[in-house]
Structure 1
Amino acid sequence: MEIKTLINRKKLHAMIPLAERTIYNMEQRGEFPRRIALTSRSVAWDLAEIEEWIEARRSSGAQAARPGA
């Protein structure tokens, strides 16, 4: 069985400097890895999924689209 490394909100924001609401909206649209509910008040993200998302953004070379642009 593969051991997954989970990161908390603080570590996620250190890696991805986006607003909480932006990350949540991207999750809802399927554009960002989904959070994992650990308890009713605690969530985490799979570190490998976050690193893959960062690498995909880096390698795509595409500029992020501005809403309404």
Structure 2
Amino acid sequence: MPRLLIPLALVVGTLWWWAVLKLALAPAASGPVEGAVAVGGWGLSLLPVHCTRQVITRASRLRRSGAESGPS
């Protein structure tokens, strides 16, 4: 399975960069496909940040040094 994921990630990453550069360098020649690819890739890039934030906020809080400990 990993042998397939690396080439797929390279192709998807190349398509995203192509869309972003085309939008940045030639916005008049860009169409909705380039916009959708660029926005979709940007949205996917936020997914790991969102998932990591959820895991961090659900973690138990550290007790202060003066607080009593609970039953063991």
TM-score range, shorter chain: under 0.3
TM-score, length basis structure 1: 0.25
| Higher relative contact order, chain-length normalized (CA < 8 Å, sep 6+) | 1
Larger Rg: 2
TM-score, length basis structure 2: 0.24
| Structure richer in helix, relative to its length | 2
